[in-house]
Structure 1
Amino acid sequence: MTASALQPTPLLRIDRIEARILDIPTIRPHKFSFGSISRQSPVIVQLWLSDGACGFGEAATIGGPSWNEESPESILLAINNYLAPAVKGLDAGRVEALLQKMDAVCKGNRFAKSAVEMAAIDAVARSMNVPAYQLLGGKVHESLPLAWTLASGDSVKDIEEAERMLEIRRHRIFKLKIGARAPEGDVAHVSRIARALNGRASMTVDINQAWDGNTARRYVPELIDAGVTLFEQPVAQWNEEALASLTATLPHTALVMADETVCSPQDAMRLAKSKACHVFSLKIAKHGGLIRTRAVAAIAQAADIGWYGGTMLETSIGSAASAHVFATLPGAHHNCELFGPQLLVDDIVEQRMELRDFELVLPDGPGFGVEVVPECLARFDRARDGLNAVHVDMGRMTAAKAH
């Protein structure tokens, strides 16, 4: 063996990071039990390695801090003030070490940490010229059945939208956002749509924590009769007892899915122990990154709990990252809903992931397989109107006019 062969592989050190908030309008209002959004404001992270490779990450919230404690503004602050300086000079290929370092300087803030970890994984995979899924255990799925949310709140509009999606072979799995009105009104709304589709599509309802235990036990059976097969987070995040009670009483034709209740691996262990749900909704941001998403999924598999590929309505950056980690997961899965790019008026990549015959096809290019367009970043940058955009140069902060 030659002396050169004994030389260690050069470390892929993190050189610098830039983070920004985008504001991208949606194609229509998107309604939840807690409100409605007409734009998305993801935080986009761009990370450079010492060898010149560059990767992107994203943390998207829904309705600012309406969904959880973090907001675009708090995510940006956490990255700029704490996370980016902490990871300067570290080997981006040692992802668990990066996560531990971020944990040491900043408690919580899973969304912010997820964006940094995502950018690091993308950059390392691009440096190695391999798809990101190769760094995550390798893919077991070539594509994922893709759901679509009907969230106008108007039964006629939702039926027309569903029919159009079926006709163009884009979606045959539909989720309905309910909980903003009286339960009787929600049941009638869902029933009208279910009757119109007449078994041609599968139906999920997302109640977004709007009901208490008694309301859920009262009205979920009526929704089952209407044709709903999956119930996402029917009760409040803290109300695990009601979630478990509902799970225990449902017929075998319907499943309960935890979303806000399952964020950390510790949450997953507790829910598995109490048999509080049949399915985990996996979301990279709420779990704190791709690696920790896999940890939650591993607990699901061990406990015979299914998984569902959730979304925070990300652009193609976060959606592709999610697709890469979901494609590596074994166990029983219940489709995915990575439709965020289709809900936005425009995207920030050259080409979105392919949709073919009701499924999302996994991109095979380097990193997450999508190429960011700098002009699109600039177009939607919140700082584009002359506000100061903060860029982190790994150890010091500089304010520069957005261009």
Structure 2
Amino acid sequence: MTLAIRHVRVTPIAFRDPPLLNAAGIHEPWALRSIIEIETACGRVGINETYGDLPMLDALAKAAPALQGLSPWDLNTMEDRVAALVSPAKTGSEFLGEQISLAPGTHVSKNVAKVISAFEVAMLDLQGQLAGAPIVDLLGGAARDAVPFSAYLFFKHAEHIDKTRTEYLPDPWGEGITPEQMVAQARRMIDQYGFKSIKLKAGALPPEQEVAAMLALAQAFPGAPLRIDPNANWTVATSLKVVEQLRGVLEYYEDPAPGLDGMAAVARESDVPLATNMVVTDYKEFADNVRLGCPVRIVLSDHHYWGGLRTTQQLACLCQTFDMGLSMHSNSHLGISLTAMTHLAASVPHLAYACDTHYPWQDDEVVQGGRLKFEDGSLRVPRTPGLGVQIDPEALARLHDNYQHCGIRNRDDLGQMRKYDPTFTGKQPRY
């Protein structure tokens, strides 16, 4: 039949990433992604964007034959076939060297969910094209016409350290270390994109410096919802000290201490709601959180490692049932991924907070028409069939060439940080 899937193309890409600091170290000069193209016998192509590290590329290659001959509508069979072909035991890939996991999307244990999500979005794109409807309508319709996103601030260096590479020019955002610099970073991002809320990635500098930055942001942007995320790099004692210092400042407190037990210990002593993308990352962990009385009050979902758009809608229903909030986590991504997030967030009535996005930190794009445009801090939901974006072939070729020559195949923030500080261990929690 002409609707049958006949080919799956996976193209790894790389694009420039600034020297952003986090609990694991510092971003490398190149971020890795992969572009998925699922083609039917009649020539229609559905697209998606996902992780681009070697374990993910290996898993995608193993799973691609599972789609041969399937209808784009047969998502259940796709999921069964992927689960049969892909598992941590069958990927044949493990992380190279020392790795610190800041999010489960980096771990091979999530490969089945990640591959299912990668294929699901591309198949939904095909379904939307065939039905003449945007993906948001396939998911039940839009609960909102535009999706709010948050300014995502990072402590950062002014440039990558490797001066032997002439392409590593000073980053246009400059240094972000002092409170004054972080206020300037926020003001520039808000002026450019219109964001209404602010998130600070913490866990990189001594806590007192990060608290000073948050207090400066609160003074500079009175009334703006503020969040802080140290990626579980603080002990329970430090987490409680910080939340007391930021009393009256925080909208929510994201992953201050390691593990669900650590989060529960913080929750018992603090009335600021705790959010996570680290300790509630699948339905088993969701159940564990419920059994503990829901110390985590806000789940920051990520369809890339939760298993796709449809399962995230199910997660939203569970969050509503247990009186928990829902928003979305982000990784370094381009417009295809951001558009999929936008369709999903628009389809979820129970979206309690503005979503995360790294998009302002990237200056490249793979979709036709170039960079997506934020309006007043939000992205409008596409109304054209499917995802509503298409691949720019020239851009894809250029970004694939970046991948071929950048020399990076697995994200390694720890190794990159050791170029700045050879004694850096990445021990967590550090403070």
Question: Alpha-carbon deviation of 1:214?
Answer: 2.3
Partner of 2:253: 231
1:40 counterpart = 2:59? no
* Deviating 4+ runs (over 4 angstroms): 382-387
CA–CA distance in 2 between the matches of 1:279 and 1:259? Answer: 9
User: Is the contact made by 1:268 and 1:300 (CA closer than 8 Å) also made in structure 2?
Assistant: no
- Give the alignment partner of residue 322 of structure 1, picking from 341, 344, 347: 341
1:262 counterpart = 2:265? no
Partner of 1:64: none
Summarize the Cα distance change of 1:39–1:123 in structure 2 as closer, same or farther, 3 Å threshold. same
Alignment of 1:25-174 (within 5 A): 25-26=16-17, 28-37=18-27, 38-60=29-51, 72-80=53-61, 82-107=62-87, 108-109=110-111, 110-151=113-154, 152=156, 153-154=176-177, 155-168=179-192, 170-174=194-198
1:214 counterpart = 2:216? no
Question: Is the partner of 2:147 in helix, strand or coil?
Answer: strand
Partner of 2:173: none
Question: Alpha-carbon deviation of 1:88?
Answer: 1.2
When the two chains are superposed, the root-mean-square deviation of aligned CA atoms in Å is: 2.1
- Aligned residue pairs, count: 359
Paired letter, 1:85: P
Residue segments in structure 2 that go unaligned for 5+ positions in a row: 88-109, 157-175, 407-431
Percent of residue pairs bearing the same amino acid type: 23
Partner of 1:180: 204
CA–CA distance in 2 between the matches of 1:329 and 1:135? Answer: 12
When normalised by structure 1's length, the TM-score is 0.83
When normalised by structure 2's length, the TM-score is 0.78
User: Is the contact made by 1:272 and 1:300 (CA closer than 8 Å) also made in structure 2?
Assistant: no
Paired letter, 1:324: H
Summarize the Cα distance change of 1:383–1:343 in structure 2 as closer, same or farther, 3 Å threshold. closer
User: Is the contact made by 1:244 and 1:277 (CA closer than 8 Å) also made in structure 2?
Assistant: yes
CA–CA distance in 1 between the matches of 2:2 and 2:264? Answer: 47
CA–CA distance in 2 between the matches of 1:57 and 1:75? Answer: 14
Paired letter, 1:122: D
Q: Deviations over 1:259-293 (max 9, x none)?
A: 11122122222223321211000111121221222
Q: Deviations over 1:281-311 (max 9, x none)?
A: 0111121221222222221111111101221
Question: Is the partner of 2:353 in helix, strand or coil?
Answer: strand
Q: Deviations over 1:298-344 (max 9, x none)?
A: 2111111110122122111011011111111122511112342x321
More strand by share: 1
Paired letter, 1:365: T
Question: Is the partner of 1:56 in helix, strand or coil?
Answer: strand
Summarize the Cα distance change of 1:385–1:208 in structure 2 as closer, same or farther, 3 Å threshold. closer
Residue segments in structure 1 that go unaligned for 5+ positions in a row: 1-9, 61-70, 388-403
User: Is the contact made by 2:345 and 2:351 (CA closer than 8 Å) also made in structure 1?
Assistant: no
Partner of 2:297: 278
CA–CA distance in 2 between the matches of 1:224 and 1:29? Answer: 30
Question: Is the partner of 2:296 in helix, strand or coil?
Answer: coil
Question: Alpha-carbon deviation of 1:176?
Answer: 0.5
Partner of 1:391: none
